[in-house]
Amino acid sequence: MLQRIYGTAWALERTQSLPASNRGGRKAGPSADWRQLIFPFPGGGPWHGVLASRWLDTVPIAGKLIREMLLENDYQEVFTPQMLDRSLWERSGHWEKFRDHMFTTHVDDRTTPLSL
C-alpha cells in the first residue's frame, strides 16, 4: 500500500508563522536549489538522468530503505540493465576506450549499449 505524506520544514521558527504568500508559495520550486536533483541528458529516455553530486549521498540510504521494505514484504529485488544511446558513451569518452567490453544491441538500425 502506498500513502502520500505531506509536511513542511522551516530553518527558523519565526518563518513558520508567516503566511504562505510571504514564503513564496508556488515561486519556491523553480528558484529552489533542490530542483536540480536530476539532470536529463541527450541519448537517454525521459526517465534517465544524472544525479547532481550533492545528492549522491542519499542514493545508498534510499536503496537500503527500499531493500529493507522489499524484504519485509517478501519481495525480491530485481536489477535490470539500462539501454542508453551510443551518443552518450561517445560524448563521455567511454565508447572509444571500452566499446570492446560493452554488450550492445541493435534497435532501429542504431547501436545501443547496455549499462548495468
- pLDDT tens track for 68-112: 999 999 998 887 777 778 888 888 888 899 889 888 888 788 888
Question: Residue range 5-27: average pLDDT?
Answer: 64
Q: Which amino acid is residue 31, in one-letter code?
A: S
Q: What is the pLDDT of residue 73?
A: 93
Residue at 16 is within a domain: no
Handedness of CA 84, 87, 52, 39 (dihedral sign): negative
Residue at 24 is within a domain: no
Q: In angstroms, rounded to a whole number, what is the distance separating the alpha carbons of residues 47 and 40?
A: 8
Is the pLDDT reported for residue 17 higher than 80?
Answer: no
Q: What is the pLDDT of residue 91?
A: 83
**The C-alpha cell that represents 74 in the structure block:** 517478501
Residue at 29 is within a domain: no
Domain enclosing residue 44, as ranges: 36-105
Q: What is the pLDDT of residue 81?
A: 75
Domain count, the chain: 1
- From residue 46, alpha-carbon distances to 34, 36, 79, 113 in Å are 19, 15, 19, 17
